[in-house]
């Protein structure tokens, strides 16, 4: 029997673990959802993967690549459930994390408390090791110093240690020697050196990256070991990759050493998939709308690349590494509906989570959620959730909502459910418009692409409220992040802080070329060990630049196909500054603060299959849906039965195993040849 060339994407969430199998020869997709096991996320992988393979009609041996995303590290940071971490710093800098940037958490709330450090002060150890501001060595520890330090660290019982020496981004050798010396003396402890993870100026942010990496490293190391073992148990021995926050993937070995790069991988994979599907559907400006159980996230795709940023936050902590620019804009399906002390209906931010979950799940939840509202209004059929594998309790959802009625002056649970959905939509619209305004963009110039289990159910209401007139719904939105993992390229970012003022362009050219060559060589060495079957690596680069004395930088792309020229970079910076601020300052000096380089190689390409030509599908049934204070008699279609080119008119409900799509009145639906639903406002 001929083996199929298959690739599996896995996205482990709090409620469900999503699987997508791609036959890379035909482009056919098979998806599956398995309830997650929070105590051991790899168990849901072991349980669900054989079911996925069986559903696809292939064998475990057909799986060539497994690309896996997980929120395990992110959740550990948010919930403060990481490892016990100690920190080694240059003598005199023991309070580095507590001082931070000397800013209040909230400029308008004098009672707001500062975030609690991940490393208590009694676990911060000072060492006579220091690099000067120009990269010169001012103090170097002896072997006896390292012996004493190792004894002190061992006495704490810490599982991981972050080593952060002042200015080590300029001269990383001393920090590397300290890290390796401690690793020899403490073989059971995981060591992280800050300059080895992210050698960028700003000691506080660099320290946080090292500490966060150390904080989740033991947990992720244990998980990756279990994952590999469980995959082998079910007969899958393909190459394993872990999705990264920058929208790419990393080998299992790299992800194990640098788990900090995987923290935001789930949302990034969804945006990667959205860009791919949008391009195949003729849309180059898209707002992604990822609505899961806890929150709703958005990102922007323009052209061939998702928007990225080097400034974001994880919980209370700033992260200065490149990530796909995803921002939270509202409630999720598990967000709780409640009434405040003034009698105002609210949605979120508290969530019912996976356990006990929404009331309609029948797992002990007593407080109604957004998902309960979908069920109560008729948007979701309780008997067909997850293709009928999970039965929901509509009566319980209505009863829980009705308990809020006396405080709201409403008659029924259905009335409250509709009102709660309007509140949730208003919250999302407000945040979406604010986020787009900060980007200098008008949401009306974009299409919206929803995914996540609840995304297609809610997105048309959001689009209508935000003035967006077009919507794209991919074929498997409920498992979209898993599908995005299968499309991600092997990718890693490198950084070099320069703090160089351009005075002599010719001297700057030499400096820049040498620095870029160093980054290229590091990238080439790394990617050579990232697995077989990769395409020719592509290298891109940029420079963070500013006028002398400015506090903020602007990124300027570098043409890597030709020798770098400082004069070209200066002109590129002038244009970028003029585009953003309306002027250029030819008389001011220009500084190059940081050089960035990205190396990227593709796994073997695949494309989505076209839908087979079939007759237009008729409604499977009809049901009442509460919308606009009316009970609408709405046709219900099986989405997989829709034919390419088929056109429907709202209101309509389109059901599939992983989600339900709600089409508003006065909106039309056209089925693209690749299966994507294209919704458009008919009164546009």
pLDDT of residue 676: 95
Indicate whether 243 pLDDT > 50: yes
Domain boundary among 160, 183, 217: 217
pLDDT of residue 2: 46
Six-digit token string for 245: 């926050």
In a domain, 434, yes or no: no
Q: What is the mean pLDDT of residues 132-157?
A: 94
Q: Do 24 and 89 share a domain, yes or no? A: no
Q: Do 70 and 100 share a domain, yes or no? A: no
Indicate whether 48 pLDDT > 90: yes
Q: Do 547 and 661 share a domain, yes or no? A: no
In a domain, 400, yes or no: yes
Cα–Cα distance measured from residue 249 to residue 244, given in angstroms and rounded to the nearest whole number: 5
Q: Do 202 and 85 share a domain, yes or no? A: yes
* Residue-wise pLDDT tens digits, 373-387: 999 999 999 999 888
* Residue-wise pLDDT tens digits, 420-429: 999 999 999 9
Q: Do 403 and 501 share a domain, yes or no? A: no
Q: Do 45 and 108 share a domain, yes or no? A: no
Cα–Cα distance measured from residue 293 to residue 332, given in angstroms and rounded to the nearest whole number: 5
Q: Do 549 and 571 share a domain, yes or no? A: yes
CATH number for the domain harbouring residue 193: 3.40.50
* Residue-wise pLDDT tens digits, 328-350: 888 888 899 999 989 999 998 88
Q: What are the C-alpha distances in Å from 427 to residues 230, 438, 663?
A: 42, 17, 20
- Sign of the CA dihedral 61, 66, 71, 74? positive
- What angle (nearest 5°) sits at the alpha carbon of residue 600, between those of residues 597 and 602? 175
- What angle (nearest 5°) sits at the alpha carbon of residue 303, between those of residues 300 and 306? 40
Cα–Cα distance measured from residue 486 to residue 31, given in angstroms and rounded to the nearest whole number: 12
* Residue-wise pLDDT tens digits, 75-126: 888 888 899 999 999 999 999 998 887 777 667 777 777 778 899 999 999 9
Range of the domain at 355: 335-422
Q: Where are the beta strands (DSSP E) in 71-199?
A: 85-90, 124-127, 130-131, 137-139, 160-164, 190-193
In a domain, 646, yes or no: yes
Cα–Cα distance measured from residue 363 to residue 354, given in angstroms and rounded to the nearest whole number: 9
Indicate whether 684 pLDDT > 70: no
Task: State which H helix or E strand residue 266 sits in.
Answer: helix 265-280
DSSP letter for 117, please: P
Q: What are the C-alpha distances in Å from 296 to residues 165, 430, 432, 620, 628?
A: 39, 13, 10, 30, 23
Q: What are the C-alpha distances in Å from 668 to residues 378, 502, 551?
A: 20, 56, 49
Structural domain total, the chain: 5
The 10 Å CB-count burial string (b at 16+, else e) for 528-542 is: eebbeebeebebebb
What is the gyration radius of the CA atoms in the chain, in angstroms? 26
Q: Do 35 and 90 share a domain, yes or no? A: no
pLDDT of residue 111: 76
Q: What is the mean pLDDT of residues 497-506?
A: 90
Query: How many other C-beta atoms can be found within 10 angstroms of the C-beta atom of residue 313?
Result: 9
pLDDT of residue 314: 83
Domain boundary among 186, 217, 248: 217
Q: Do 113 and 210 share a domain, yes or no? A: yes
Q: What is the mean pLDDT of residues 529-542?
A: 91
CATH number for the domain harbouring residue 63: 3.30.420.40
In a domain, 50, yes or no: yes
Report the DSSP pairing between strands 249-251 and 239-243. antiparallel
* Residue-wise pLDDT tens digits, 562-594: 999 999 999 999 999 998 889 999 999 999 999
β-partners of residue 494 are 597
pLDDT of residue 400: 95
Q: Do 574 and 531 share a domain, yes or no? A: yes
Cα–Cα distance measured from residue 149 to residue 561, given in angstroms and rounded to the nearest whole number: 48
Indicate whether 244 pLDDT > 70: yes
The 10 Å CB-count burial string (b at 16+, else e) for 335-363 is: bbbbbeeeeebbbbeebbbbeebbbbbee
Query: How many other C-beta atoms can be found within 10 angstroms of the C-beta atom of residue 668?
Result: 15
Which runs of consecutive H residues, i.e. helices, occur in 404-546? Answer: 405-408, 413-438, 455-466, 480-487, 505-527
pLDDT of residue 3: 55
Spatial CA neighbour of 16 closest among 480, 641, 539, 556: 480
In a domain, 295, yes or no: no
- What angle (nearest 5°) sits at the alpha carbon of residue 575, between those of residues 569 and 578? 140
SS3 115: coil
Q: How confident is the model at residue 293 (pLDDT cuts 50, 70, 90)?
A: confident
Q: What is the mean pLDDT of residues 217-239?
A: 93
- What angle (nearest 5°) sits at the alpha carbon of residue 471, between those of residues 468 and 477? 135
pLDDT of residue 261: 94
DSSP letter for 202, please: -
pLDDT, mean over the chain: 91
Q: Do 558 and 588 share a domain, yes or no? A: yes
Q: What is the mean pLDDT of residues 652-677?
A: 95
In a domain, 591, yes or no: yes
Model confidence, pTM? 0.88
pLDDT of residue 610: 85
SS3 287: strand
In a domain, 141, yes or no: yes
pLDDT of residue 612: 86
SS3 618: coil
SS3 160: strand
Q: What are the C-alpha distances in Å from 398 to residues 351, 376, 401, 417, 598?
A: 18, 6, 5, 8, 52
Max CA pair span of the chain: 81
* Residue-wise pLDDT tens digits, 477-501: 989 999 999 989 999 999 999 989 9
Which position has the token pair 């709201």?
408
Domain boundary among 601, 632, 664: 601
In a domain, 318, yes or no: no
Q: What is the mean pLDDT of residues 390-411?
A: 90
Cα–Cα distance measured from residue 351 to residue 363, given in angstroms and rounded to the nearest whole number: 15
HSE on the CB side for 198, CA within 13 Å? 28
Indicate whether 1 pLDDT > 70: no
Q: Do 70 and 94 share a domain, yes or no? A: no
β-partners of residue 31 are 20
pLDDT of residue 475: 93
Indicate whether 683 pLDDT > 90: no
């Amino acid at each position: 029997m001929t083996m199929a060339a298959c690739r599996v994407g896995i996205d482990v969430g709090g409620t469900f673990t999503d699987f997508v199998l791609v036959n890379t020869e035909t482009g056919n997709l098979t998806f599956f959802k398995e309830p997650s096991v929070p105590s051991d996320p790899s168990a849901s992988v072991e349980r669900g993967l054989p079911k996925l393979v069986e559903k696809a009609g292939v064998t475990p041996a057909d799986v060539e690549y497994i690309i896996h995303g997980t929120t395990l590290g992110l959740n550990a940071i948010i919930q403060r459930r990481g490892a016990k971490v100690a920190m080694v710093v240059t003598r005199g800098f023991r309070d580095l994390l507590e001082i931070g940037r000397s800013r209040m958490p909230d400029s308008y709330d004098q009672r707001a408390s500062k975030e609690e450090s991940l490393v208590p002060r009694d676990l911060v150890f000072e060492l006579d090791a220091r690099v000067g501001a120009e990269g010169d060595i001012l103090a170097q520890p002896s072997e006896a110093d390292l012996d004493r330090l190792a004894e002190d660290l061992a006495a704490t019982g810490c599982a991981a240690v972050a080593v952060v020496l002042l200015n080590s981004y300029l001269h990383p050798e001393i920090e590397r020697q300290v890290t390796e010396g401690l690793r020899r003396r403490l073989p059971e402890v995981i060591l992280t050196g800050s300059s080895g993870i992210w050698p960028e100026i700003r000691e506080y942010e660099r320290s946080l990256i090292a500490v966060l990496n150390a904080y989740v490293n033991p947990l992720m190391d244990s998980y990756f070991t279990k994952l590999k073992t469980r995959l082998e148990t079910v007969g899958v021995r393909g190459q394993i990759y872990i999705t990264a926050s920058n929208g790419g993937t990393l080998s299992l070995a790299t992800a194990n050493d640098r788990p900090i790069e995987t923290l935001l991988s789930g949302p990034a994979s969804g945006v990667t998939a959205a860009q791919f599907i949008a391009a195949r559907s003729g849309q180059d400006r898209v707002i992604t709308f990822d609505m899961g159980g806890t929150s709703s996230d958005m990102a922007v795709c323009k052209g061939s690349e998702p928007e990225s940023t080097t400034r974001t936050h994880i919980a209370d902590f700033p992260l200065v590494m490149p990530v796909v620019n995803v921002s939270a804009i509202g409630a999720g399906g598990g967000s709780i509906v409640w009434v405040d002390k003034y009698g105002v209906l609210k949605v979120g931010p508290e969530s019912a989570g996976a356990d006990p979950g929404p009331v309609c799940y029948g797992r002990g939840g007593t407080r109604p959620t957004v998902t309960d509202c979908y069920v109560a209004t008729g948007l979701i059929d309780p008997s067909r959730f997850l293709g009928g594998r999970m039965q929901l309790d509509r009566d319980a959802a209505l009863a829980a909502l009705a308990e809020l009625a006396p405080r709201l002056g409403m008659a029924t649970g259905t009335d409250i459910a509709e009102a709660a959905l309007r509140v949730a939509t208003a919250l999302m619209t407000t945040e979406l418009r604010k986020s787009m305004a900060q980007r200098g963009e008008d949401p009306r110039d974009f299409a919206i692409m929803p995914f996540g289990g609840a995304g297609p159910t809610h997105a048309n209401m959001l689009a209508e409220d935000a003035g967006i007139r077009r919507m794209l719904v991919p074929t498997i939105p409920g498992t979209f992040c898993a599908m995005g993992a299968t499309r991600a390229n092997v990718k890693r970012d490198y950084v070099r802080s320069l703090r160089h003022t351009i005075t002599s362009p010719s001297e700057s050219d030499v400096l820049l070329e040498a620095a870029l060559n160093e980054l290229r060589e590091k990238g080439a060495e790394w990617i050579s060990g990232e697995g077989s079957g990769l395409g020719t690596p592509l290298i891109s680069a940029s420079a963070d630049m500013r006028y002398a004395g400015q506090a903020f930088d602007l990124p300027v792309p570098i043409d890597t196909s030709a020798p770098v020229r400082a004069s070209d970079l200066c002109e590129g910076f002038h244009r970028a500054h003029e585009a953003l601020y309306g002027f250029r300052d030819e008389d001011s000096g220009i500084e190059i603060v940081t050089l960035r380089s990205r190396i990227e190689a593709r796994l073997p390409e695949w494309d989505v299959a076209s839908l087979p030509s079939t007759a237009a599908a008729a409604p499977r049934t009809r049901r009442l849906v509460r919308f606009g204070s009316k009970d609408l008699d709405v046709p219900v279609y099986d989405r997989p039965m829709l034919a390419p080119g088929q056109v429907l008119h709202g209101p309509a409900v389109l059901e599939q195993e992983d989600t339900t799509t709600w089409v508003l009145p006065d909106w039309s639906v056209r089925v693209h040849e690749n299966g994507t639903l294209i919704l458009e406002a008919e009164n546009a």
